[in-house]
Copies of this chain bind each other. A is one copy, B any other.
Amino acid sequence: MHKGESTRQRIIEQAAPIFNQHGYAGCSMHDVMEATGLEKGGLYRHFSTKEELAAEAFRYSLSKSMKLRTDNLDRSHGALQTLRAFIERFVETTTFLRGGCPLLNTAVDADDGNPVLRELAREAFRDWRERLARIVKEGMRSGEIRESANPRLIANTIIAALEGALMMSRLEGNKTALKDAQAALDGVLNCLAR
């Protein structure tokens, strides 16, 4: 990697947890300068605005979190078991990044704020929903899941319950809300079986 590129990458990686923890409005370029040890000129050579850096930092946090949550999921036992494995992974891997789920944080931070971050968060939810809905559709095609199932509704419900429970668990400092959501979603999935 070129030196300029590696500095740029280092800035993104060091800025990501700061933006994730403090939000777009709560994190300044000055905070990033302190974290990276760069002078103003050095930082602005790579990112001309806070918005540009925040977008790159969010992309980085997001790809890291999606990788952790979906890589190498065991898909060999059918659609329902794949969804259960995904849910379990989400419940188990909540603390990899300082500040919690970057998607939840950015969604709440940007819902009536920064339009670039908002669009990135929208895309991320769309991708996530489509990925889960595809698993449901596979289960419907294979005859594992009943035909009356609504893939979008199931995907939205899994995401909503997990993100809401993560928010509660982080606030309360324990996994009760996440474990409760996992058990309830397990019941929802059981009802989908043909």
Contacts and interface: CB of A to CB of B under 8 A. Distances in A.
19 contacts: A21-B112, A23-B23, A24-B26, A25-B26, A26-B113, A100-B112, A104-B108, A111-B171, A152-B176, A153-B180, A156-B165, A156-B181, A157-B165, A160-B165, A160-B180, A163-B168, A164-B167, A184-B188, A187-B191
Interface of A: 21-26, 98-100, 104-105, 107-113, 118, 121-122, 125, 150, 152-154, 156-157, 159-165, 167-168, 170-172, 176-177, 180-181, 183-184, 187-188, 191
A160 B156 contact: no
A107 B183 contact: no
Contacts of A107: 167-168, 170-171
Contact of A164 (B24, B111, B164, B184): B164
A113 B109 CA distance: 14
Contacts of A180: 150, 152-153, 156-157, 160
Contact of A160 (B100, B121, B181): B181
Contacts of A105: 108
Given A111-B171, A159-B164, 19 more contacts: A22-B25, A23-B25, A98-B112, A104-B108, A118-B171, A122-B172, A153-B184, A156-B176, A156-B177, A157-B184, A160-B161, A160-B164, A160-B165, A160-B168, A160-B177, A161-B161, A163-B164, A187-B191, A188-B188
